[in-house]
Structure 1
Amino acid sequence: MKFTPALQTATLIKRYKRFLADLKTVDGVEFTAHCANTGKMTGCAEPGFKAFYSTSDNAKRKFPQSLQLTQNQFDHLICVNTAIANNVVQEALNEGAITELVDYQTIAAEVKYGQENSRIDFLLTGEHKPHCYVEVKSVTLLSQTDPQSGQGYFPDAKTERGQKHLRELIEMVQQGHRAVLFFAVLHEGINQVSAAKHIDSKYAQLLTEAIDNGVEVIAYKAKISAEEIKLQEKCDFLN
């Protein structure tokens, strides 16, 4: 997914009220940007981090700028706009770049499914093969106790919604379909992913149950720059 034009840079002053971030340009101009992230953003939005933002030409927007990336103290680039995860995964699916998910003829997004009134991120269909339900999760939580380890975690906060998605994926497998939990790693410092048992033990337990029931887990890491974000390589999932 390309940023056109390329993102501009500033310094992050603070992130607050979940959807807002104050930034300061090199010229000393301060402004408020929209931050499309409902999570805690632990380790991703500390004051003083370098920030990368886009500017919308929509005159109706209260905050024309959007915070897209940050750069931490280890110079890792991090995509903090969670909506981008689905965009980069869809692009990779269209290009056949995810080897585990090729040879499907149709890719549909945001399809209603399941008993708990959910929407699957992507439904892949093809002739003479089971439907494939793909739930995408953005991974940006790097180990805070050992940030040089490359260990990433999901989720970064307790998530009842994420637990619901796991139950729905289990149901799809039980109905004879294929179900995939796809971790899009959008943090340059993360090289492997695990369930965050220390944050949401119920989610971790449900994920183990899902795997035992046939839900597949796939993790791919993105290459990140001010010009583009693109899934590049598979990385390990450690249950």
Structure 2
Amino acid sequence: MLFPSSLVHGRLVSRYKRFFADVVLDDGAAITAHCPNPGAMLGVNMPGLGVWLSKSDDPKRKLAHTLEMVETPPDAAGTVGLVGINTMLPNKLVAEALAADAIPELTGYDVHRREVKYGEASRVDFLLEKGTGERCWLEIKNCHLSRTPPLAEFPDCVAARSTKHLRELEAMVAAGDRAVALFVVQRTDCDRFSACADLDPAFAAGLERAADAGVEVLVYGCEMSTSDIVIGRRIRFLRASEAR
């Protein structure tokens, strides 16, 4: 997926009220940008971090800039990574990947339907269907947290809605359908993934229970640059006992 405009670089001053970020651009301009992430953004919200922003030409927008990526602090080798924080992107990335058969575990479906009602008054991200009547209920989660790279974790705060989605996927398996929880890791420095049990023990327990009940857990990383981002390679999912 190409970004809609060339990204501009700056430094984060502060992120506040969930959807606002004050940034100083490299040219010295001080701006307020839209922050498309309702979560805690743990580890990627510190003042001084490098950030990349897109800019809209829509005159009706109150905030022209959108925060897209945050740079990680340099590691021991001096390498700076990228972290995508836009929670609107994973569904778009997965839609592109499904159309291109880029996720081997999810190929062979004739129809990709979005936002289908199911479960406890929810809408599933994708319902994949085959001509034979086989169905796959697909929920997508954005992951940007990594406290100890190369381990990615989800969530970065209590995520009751995500825990509910796991219950709903379990119910689809019990009804005879296939169900998949797909975590999209928008980071360039991770090769494994686990639930974040200390920040949300209910979600971690729910993911274990769902996996035991037959819900498939897939984790994919992203290939990221300041011009585009696409679904990359599969990342290993660590059960709770493996992640300790």
Instruction: Report the Cα offset of residue 129 of structure 1.
Output: 4.9
- Specify the alignment match of 1:78 in structure 2: 83
In structure 2, how many angstroms separate the alpha carbons of the residues matched to 1:4 and 1:171?
Answer: 38
Instruction: Report the Cα offset of residue 25 of structure 1.
Output: 1.3
Aligned ranges 1:195-206 → 2 under 5 Å: 195-206=195-206
- Specify the alignment match of 2:109 in structure 1: 104
In structure 2, how many angstroms separate the alpha carbons of the residues matched to 1:107 and 1:66?
Answer: 29
In structure 2, how many angstroms separate the alpha carbons of the residues matched to 1:57 and 1:108?
Answer: 31
Instruction: Report the Cα offset of residue 4 of structure 1.
Output: 3.2
In the alignment, residue 73 of structure 2 is paired with which amino acid?
A: Q
**Aligned match for 1:133, one of 132, 137, 157:** 137
Instruction: Report the Cα offset of residue 60 of structure 1.
Output: 1.4
Unaligned residue ranges in structure 1 (runs of 5+): none
- What is the Cα-based RMSD across aligned positions, in Å? 1.0
* Other structure's SS at 1:15 match: strand
* Other structure's SS at 2:132 match: coil
Structure 1, residues 117-160: CA drift from partner, whole Å, max 9, x if none?
Answer: 011011100122521011000111102xxx3x401111111111
- Specify the alignment match of 1:122 in structure 2: 126
In structure 1, how many angstroms separate the alpha carbons of the residues matched to 2:88 and 2:44?
Answer: 16
Structure 1, residues 146-195: CA drift from partner, whole Å, max 9, x if none?
Answer: x3x40111111111101110010000001110000001010112211101
The TM-score with structure 2 as length reference comes to 0.93
In the alignment, residue 139 of structure 1 is paired with which amino acid?
A: C
Unaligned residue ranges in structure 2 (runs of 5+): 75-79, 240-244
Question: Any runs of at least 4 consecutive aligned residues in structure 1 with deviations exceeding 4 A, and if so which?
Answer: none
Identity %: 40
The TM-score with structure 1 as length reference comes to 0.95
In the alignment, residue 119 of structure 1 is paired with which amino acid?
A: R
In structure 2, how many angstroms separate the alpha carbons of the residues matched to 1:205 and 1:26?
Answer: 44
In the alignment, residue 224 of structure 2 is paired with which amino acid?
A: I
Instruction: Report the Cα offset of residue 232 of structure 1.
Output: 1.2
Paired residue total: 234
In structure 1, how many angstroms separate the alpha carbons of the residues matched to 2:31 and 2:172?
Answer: 46
- Specify the alignment match of 1:161 in structure 2: 161
In the alignment, residue 97 of structure 1 is paired with which amino acid?
A: A
In structure 2, how many angstroms separate the alpha carbons of the residues matched to 1:128 and 1:25?
Answer: 54
Of residues 29-38 and 58-67 in structure 1, the stretch that sits farther from structure 2 once superposed is 58-67
